[in-house]
Amino acid sequence: MATVSFDKATRIYPGSEKPAVDALDIEIEDGEFLVLVGPSGCGKSTSLRMLAGLEDVNAGAIRIGDRDVTHLPPKDRDIAMVFQNYALYPHMTVADNMGFALKIAGVPKAEIRQKVEDAAKILDLTEYLGRKPKALSGGQRQRVAMGRAIVREPQVFLMDEPLSNLDAKLRVSTRTQIASLQRRLGITTVYVTHDQVEAMTMGDRVAVLKDGLLQQVDTPRNMYDRPANLFVAGFIGSPAMNLVEVPITDGGVKFGNAVVPVDRDALSAATDKTVTVGVRPEHFDVTGSDSGQGLAVTVNVVEELGADAYVYGTAKVGGDDSKDLVVRVSGRDVPEKGSTLYIVPRSGETHVFSTSTGARLSD
Ligand SMILES: Nc1ncnc2c1ncn2[C@@H]1O[C@H](COP(=O)(O)OP(=O)(O)OP(=O)(O)O)[C@@H](O)[C@H]1O
Ligand SMILES: [Mg+2]
Reduce the secondary structure of 234-278 to three states and give it as a string: HHCCCCCCEEEEEEEECCEEEECCEEEECCHHHHHCCCCCEEEEE
Which of 15, 52, 25, 58 has its CA nearest to residue 213? 25
State in Å: Cα 120 to ligand 2 middle: 28
Checking if the pLDDT of 30 tops 90, the result is yes
CB 102 within 8 A of CB 151: yes
State in Å: Cα 315 to ligand 1 middle: 39
Confidence at 52, pLDDT banded by 50, 70, 90: very high
Residue of 10, 12, 46, 56 with the most ligand 1 atoms within 8 Å of its CB, for mutation: 46
Between CA 135 and CA 132 the distance in angstroms is 6
Query: What is the pLDDT averaged over residues 242-255?
Result: 82
Confidence at 19, pLDDT banded by 50, 70, 90: very high
Query: What is the pLDDT averaged over residues 291-314?
Result: 90
Query: What is the pLDDT averaged over residues 73-90?
Result: 88
Ligand 1 within 6 A of CB of 42: yes
Query: What is the pLDDT averaged over residues 118-125?
Result: 91
Ligand nearest to the backbone CA of 11: 1
Ligand 1 within 6 A of CB of 45: yes
Residue nearest to atom 22 of ligand 1 (CA): 45
Checking if the pLDDT of 80 tops 80, the result is yes
Checking if the pLDDT of 290 tops 70, the result is no
Ligand nearest to the backbone CA of 37: 1
Q: pTM to 2 decimals?
A: 0.92
Ligand 1 within 6 A of CB of 193: no
Query: What is the pLDDT averaged over residues 46-67?
Result: 97
Checking if the pLDDT of 130 tops 70, the result is yes
pLDDT at 319: 66
* CB-CB neighbours of 66 under 10 Å: 8
Ligand nearest to the backbone CA of 46: 1
Alpha helices in the chain (DSSP H): 44-52, 94-104, 109-123, 138-150, 168-185, 196-202, 220-225, 230-235, 264-268
pLDDT at 289: 64
Residue of 12, 17, 22, 45 with the most ligand 1 atoms within 8 Å of its CB, for mutation: 45
Checking if the pLDDT of 291 tops 70, the result is no
**In the chain, pLDDT over 90 holds for what percent of residues?**
71
Between CA 352 and CA 363 the distance in angstroms is 9
Query: What is the pLDDT averaged over residues 134-144?
Result: 91
Ligand 1 within 6 A of CB of 43: yes
Confidence at 270, pLDDT banded by 50, 70, 90: low
Which one has a higher pLDDT value, 126 or 260?
A: 126
Confidence at 50, pLDDT banded by 50, 70, 90: very high
CB-hemisphere CA count at 13 Å for 44?
A: 25
Task: Compute CA distances 12 → 24, 60, 77, 144, 315, whole Å.
Answer: 12, 12, 22, 34, 45
pLDDT at 269: 66
> Which residues are close to ligand 2, an ion, with C-beta < 5 A?
45
Residue nearest to atom 27 of ligand 1 (CA): 40
pLDDT at 295: 86
pLDDT at 259: 73
Which one has a higher pLDDT value, 228 or 350?
A: 228
Distance of alpha carbon 189 from the chain centroid: 14
Mean pLDDT of the chain: 91
Between CA 314 and CA 333 the distance in angstroms is 19
Checking if the pLDDT of 292 tops 80, the result is no
**Cβ neighbours of residue 46 closer than 8 Å, sequence gap 6 or more:** 11, 20, 21, 55, 212
| Lowest-confidence segment of 46-55, 85-94, 193-202, 212-221 by average pLDDT | 85-94
**Model pLDDT for residues 146-169, shown as the tens digit of each residue:** 999 999 989 999 999 988 888 888
pLDDT at 316: 86
Dihedral sign computed on CA atoms, order 236, 240, 245, 248? negative
Checking if the pLDDT of 193 tops 70, the result is yes
Atom of ligand 1 nearest to the CA of 47: 18
State in Å: Cα 62 to ligand 2 middle: 19
Query: What is the pLDDT averaged over residues 8-19?
Result: 97
Task: Compute CA distances 206 → 46, 158, 230, whole Å.
Answer: 17, 15, 16
| Lowest-confidence segment of 27-41, 54-68, 226-240, 320-334 by average pLDDT | 320-334
Checking if the pLDDT of 333 tops 80, the result is yes
Q: Which run of H or of E encompasses 24?
A: strand 21-28
